Amino acid sequence: MSTEAYIETPLGIATISGDKDGITSVSVTKETTIIPSTMIPPYLQDTVVQLREYFEGDRTHFDLTLNPSGTDFQKKVWDELLKIPFGKTVSYLDIAKRLGDPKSIRAAASANGKNPLWIIIPCHRVIGSDGSLTGYAGGLWRKKWLLAHENPVKQQSLF
């Protein structure tokens, strides 16, 4: 039986779902009436800790048991997304090429958009071939925030 927890993040309330077999989903909501959980179910405690560390700038890699639902192709795409290093980006075409078929770019982009594990499977690190911040289910402002958060070169103020 899947359990849920709600945590506050700089980008909104995140809903975390999972069970003894692993984390099944992490999503961010625009809903403003959800109250963060005061009690975190045991299966979700590591995820909550690691997400908090990520947002505090203390974590660049997640070490969790993942159990997302999806087709075999979607899971292959998500496995490729997990290989994108922190602070780096790749294009949808790069993902399709890594899967062995550059013509699968639309299918790869679709699978990317159906990623059920927000941030943990880093779909925000996939951009257009021209460097543009293309579609992001959580809103482009969140994608921009996440990429800036992960950028190893922080802009310094001149004043």
User: Where in the sequence numbering do the catalytic residues fall?
Assistant: 123
The CA-to-CA distance between both ends of the chain, in Å, stands at 54
10 Å Cβ neighbour count for 140? 13
DSSP 131: S
Angle at 126 between CA 19 and CA 64, to 5 degrees: 25
How far is Cα 99 from Cα 73, in angstroms, rounded to an integer?
Answer: 9
Q: In what helix (H) or strand (E) does residue 115 lie, and over which residues does it extend?
A: none
